[in-house]
A and B are shown apart, each in its own frame.
Chain A
Amino acid sequence: MMKNKITNEEKSLTLTPTIFHILVVLSGGERHGYAILREVQEIAEGKSSLGPTTLYRSIRTMLDGKLIEELDERPDPESNDERRRYYRLTDLGVKVLSDEVERLESLVKIARQKNVLIGSRRVAVWEK
């Protein structure tokens, strides 16, 4: 059952850009570590320098915060290495992700209203 309110414990989890990216990737279904890493690099368009250690530290944080869970069985046991572990979003993970997307959307909306994304205006502000 999905919770409506986010508890204090859940609030204490810092949603870093890496964790946000991983949540976005996992919203497409269960993935193993390498697949997560590749997809994060793709959606970050080469701007992410996510390495294996950062990836697994983030995964640990998300497991501790119950944003994701490890699958007991591999989706495709025959074609994959047995050592690979698969992860998927929990209900709480889905809620935290959608809340964050909403927050970012409203922030972008405000930014657009204020015309901060227009290059010429930014230059004009700096020239003052």
Chain B
Amino acid sequence: MKQPPSDVWLILSAWVYKSLIFTLPKEFRRHYAAEMTLVFRDCCRDAYRRAGFYGLIGELSSSVLDLIVNAAKERILILISDKFDRSFFLATAVLAVTAGIFAAFTDLHNNNTETPLLLILTFGFALGFVHPRVFWLSGSLIGLMMPAIHFIALVRGWRVEYPNDSSTPLWAFLTLLPALTSSITGAGFRLILKIIWGRLN
């Protein structure tokens, strides 16, 4: 039998898992997050005893996959439920799509990447800050507009400021990274401000 895993690996895997628990809706987290983390830690200890470090990695991967799939299901359930505020959701979606299209058209008519990148970061941060509950939506939509517009430009043969071939829309998917990062940062920044404000009052 193997020795129990070192605290470092256990703490690290629990930290990764706990960070990702935030993908679950607040209501669900409030009831079950603490217990889920506890169960996950027990699973990790068991997995390490059975199969060592690779067992621990296997347990982490399967638990994270389980978490992400179920978080997506929960989010979809909320979206189709009566409790969901559709107008709020729609407003965020429209704003994000508009911002994404604006950034994409700026990119089409610009030879440098700095300007559209700056726009994406600004819009992502702003929408994440204003609507933190749906930061994932604004980040995804802003990021997805770039490949969508590039694809349309390619199909329709629009004139762009740089060589546009079939690989450009695929490369444009990379925009998802800054878009999601900035919207998460915006939402996180608002959370920090809220905590500070709460402490001050």
Contact = CB atoms under 8 A, between A and B. Distances in A.
A56 B36 contact: yes
Contacts of A38: 46
A70 to B, nearest CB: 10
B74 A52 contact: no
Interface string B70-109: 1101100000000000000000000000000000000000
Given A53-B24, A60-B32, A83-B34, A34 B39 contact: yes
Contact of B38 (A33, A54, A57, A59): A33
A57 B39 contact: no
Interface in B29-77: 31-32, 34-36, 38-40, 42-43, 46, 62-63, 65-67, 69-71, 73-74
Given A52-B36, A52-B43, A57-B28, 20 more contacts: A33-B36, A34-B38, A34-B39, A34-B42, A34-B43, A38-B46, A51-B66, A52-B39, A52-B66, A52-B67, A53-B63, A53-B66, A53-B69, A53-B70, A55-B39, A56-B35, A56-B36, A60-B28, A60-B31, A60-B32
Interface residues of A, number: 18
A49 interface: yes
A122 interface: no
A72 interface: no
Contacts of B32: 56, 59-60
